[in-house]
């Protein structure tokens, strides 16, 4: 009797226990699923820098220049003419000049390209430049740099008439720029200035660091950035620091981290890293180098570690597609300006 009673009692208890265990396990599983969902945190968003698109900006400028030139020609003036001179067979130089010629064609500027052999002497090049200086149908002259080692670059830049020096490399134009006087401003620094203005980047009183000290880019750019905006050169009233190859690495990093605007023009890939940039700073990458990637393919890169720096910067220019297109656009603008100035000088 007792055995029957125990048996009768145990079976329901076991069934109940099994049922309860199943419920507990189900609840346990559900609770873990809910807990696991809570553990899956959303990915932390990184505020990427706003990219300053030089291609789009340059395209808009070229369109405006085209309209300006149509009015200029409609007023009875001849279309401006640009002469480009290449010495040697450097593929990069040919590519750069081709881009400039295409821009001329798009805007309505006539042009010609003179390619001289690498063996051309400095005297022969100077004689050619002098011929173009005297030709009233030529409004702008440029010699694509670099030139062969046996030719002195500074002498050649100064051989071009200051009125036709659309690159802005003649020492007369550089000197006038330094004195806040009206002049033809070097195309790349002018391109950087225009990018800052069009992107509404405030420069008045801001800390700007220029890394590089080339006489054709970094120096005139530093002059533009620090000059008085009330004078003819229309400077940008910034507080400027120039760093260069002899600036110790620790000092370079320190200066860069203090910059509201950081401009780099060295030609050393990846020089500027994420830890060297002030959060929210505007980073302008003027450098351009051709490197080979792991797959053996060549690509163009700047002086800034773009993917890393864009995570901390407020604005950044890419390479390619940043300063380069703006340089070409400013060269076109300088050519039109030179043509108008020459007409004005002849009528005065």
Residue 16 confidence (pLDDT): 53
Annotated catalytic residue: which of 163, 165, 167, 303? 167
> Does 134 participate in catalysis according to the annotation?
no
**CATH number for the segment(s) 78-167:** 3.40.50.10860
Residue 43 confidence (pLDDT): 52
Please report where in the chains the tokens 């821009």 appear, as a residue: 103
Summary mean pLDDT of the chain:
90
Secondary structure (DSSP) of 86-129:
EES--HHHHHHHHHHHHHHHHHT-EEEEEEE-TT--HHHHHHHH
Q: What angle do CA 202, 207, 213 make, to 5 degrees?
A: 110
Residue 35 confidence (pLDDT): 43
SS3 73: helix
Q: Is the pLDDT of residue 8 over 60?
A: no
Annotated catalytic residue: which of 100, 164, 193, 278? 100
Task: Output 197-206 pairs: Cβ under 8 A, ≥24 positions apart.
Answer: 198/57, 199/50, 199/52, 199/282, 199/315, 201/261, 201/282, 201/315, 203/236, 203/237, 203/238, 203/261, 204/229, 204/236, 204/237, 204/238, 205/237, 205/238, 205/239, 206/238, 206/239, 206/260, 206/261
Domain boundaries, the chain: 78-167, 185-326
Specify the pTM.
0.85
Name the least confident of 18-27, 162-171, 212-221: 18-27
d(CA 148, CA 182): 32
Residue 20 confidence (pLDDT): 55
185-326 and 78-167 share a CATH fold: yes
> Does 307 participate in catalysis according to the annotation?
no
Residue 5 confidence (pLDDT): 42
**CATH number for the segment(s) 185-326:** 3.40.50.720
- CB-based burial label for 30 (10 Å; 0-12, 13-18, 19+): exposed
Task: Output 340-345 pairs: Cβ under 8 A, ≥24 positions apart.
Answer: 340/72, 341/163, 342/136, 342/139, 342/163, 342/164, 343/77, 345/163
Residue 257 confidence (pLDDT): 98
Q: Is the pLDDT of residue 40 over 90?
A: no
> Does 152 participate in catalysis according to the annotation?
no
SS3 170: coil
Contacts of 121 (CB under 8 A, 6+ apart): 150, 151
Residue 53 confidence (pLDDT): 98
Extended strands (E) in the chain: 50-51, 81-87, 110-116, 140-143, 207-211, 239-243, 261-264, 282-285, 289-292, 298-301, 315-316
Measured in whole angstroms, how far is the alpha carbon of residue 142 from the centre of its chain? 21
């Amino acid at each position: 009797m007792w055995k029957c009673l125990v048996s009768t009692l145990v079976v329901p208890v076991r069934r109940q226990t099994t049922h309860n265990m199943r419920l507990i396990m189900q609840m346990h599983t559900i609770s873990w699923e809910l807990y696991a969902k809570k553990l899956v945190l959303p990915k932390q968003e990184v505020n990427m820098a706003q990219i300053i698109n030089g291609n789009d900006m340059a395209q808009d400028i070229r369109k405006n220049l085209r309209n300006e030139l149509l009015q200029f020609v409609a007023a009875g003036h001849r279309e401006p003419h640009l002469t480009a001179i290449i010495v040697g067979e450097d593929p990069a130089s040919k590519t750069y000049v081709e881009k400039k010629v295409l821009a001329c064609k798009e805007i309505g500027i006539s042009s010609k390209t003179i390619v001289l052999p690498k063996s051309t002497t400095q005297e022969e090049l100077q004689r050619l430049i002098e011929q173009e200086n005297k030709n009233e149908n030529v409004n702008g002259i440029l010699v694509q740099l670099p030139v062969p080692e046996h030719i002195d670059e500074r002498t050649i830049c100064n051989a071009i008439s200051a009125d036709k020096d659309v690159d802005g490399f003649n020492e007369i134009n550089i000197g006038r720029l330094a004195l806040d006087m009206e002049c033809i401003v070097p195309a790349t620094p002018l391109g950087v200035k225009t990018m800052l203005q069009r992107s509404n980047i405030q420069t008045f009183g801001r800390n700007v660091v220029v890394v590089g000290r080339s006489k054709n880019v970094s120096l005139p750019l530093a002059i533009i950035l620090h000059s008085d905006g009330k004078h003819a050169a229309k400077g940008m009233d910034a507080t400027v620091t120039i760093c260069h190859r002899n600036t110790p690495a620790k000092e370079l990093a320190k200066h860069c981290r203090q910059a509201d605007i950081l401009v780099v023009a060295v030609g050393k890939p990846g020089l500027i890293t994420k830890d060297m940039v002030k959060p929210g700073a505007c980073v302008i990458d003027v450098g351009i180098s051709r490197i080979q990637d792991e797959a053996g393919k060549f690509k163009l890169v700047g002086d800034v570690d773009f993917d890393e720096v864009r995570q901390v910067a407020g604005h950044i220019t890419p390479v390619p597609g940043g300063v380069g297109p703006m340089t070409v656009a400013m060269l076109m603008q300088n050519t039109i300006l030179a043509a108008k100035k020459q007409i004005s000088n002849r009528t005065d």
